[in-house]
Amino acid sequence: MIINIGNSEFNVKVVFSKKDTSNGMMGKRFDKTFNGMLFLMSDGQHGFWMKDCIIPLDIIFISNNVITKIYHKCPPCNTNECKSYIGEGDTILEVQGNTCKKLGIKIGDKISA
């Protein structure tokens, strides 16, 4: 699935099952097939962590197609005591760390598909 934020385009892998949401980017890298992971959630507060991730990620919380919170360059964590990144939204997008700053993506930007 292709989504756009301003002039930036992302080919995202869509995740919605509980198992896939729990696993997220654990042990994965982005490649030619996708450069973002899009989590479809119920609206509300959600927490994400970087357990067993292998690259830093930007975590973007989205509500009604508008960015509500961004965590920049979240570091991987290899223990069971990882920091939680909490925000409100019905959709969460994970992209490679530093992408938002590099592309000028900010809170209030709109997402379109």
Measure the CA–CA gap between 105 and 65, rounded to whole angstroms.
Answer: 14
Residue 54 lies in a domain: yes
> pLDDT at residue 86 above 90?
yes
Residue 86 lies in a domain: yes
pLDDT value at residue 28: 92
pLDDT value at residue 62: 98
Residue 32 lies in a domain: yes
pLDDT value at residue 18: 87
Share of the chain above pLDDT 90, in %: 86
Burial zone of 65 (CB within 10 Å; 0-12 exposed, 13-18 middle, 19+ buried): middle
Total tally of structural domains belonging to the chain = 1
Residue 86 belongs to domain with CATH number: 2.60.120.1140
pLDDT value at residue 22: 86
DSSP result, 7-74: TEEEEEEEE-SHHHHHHTTBT---BTTBSEEEEEEEEEEEEE--BTBSS-EEEEEEETTEEEEEEEEE
Range of the domain at 7: 2-108
Q: What tens digit of pLDDT does each residue of 8-63 get?
A: 999 999 998 888 888 899 999 999 899 999 999 999 999 999 999 999 999 999 99
Neighbour order of strands in the sheet with 66-74: 66-74, 57-63, 85-96, 36-48, 8-15, 2-5, 111-112
Residue 18 lies in a domain: yes
Residue 113 lies in a domain: no
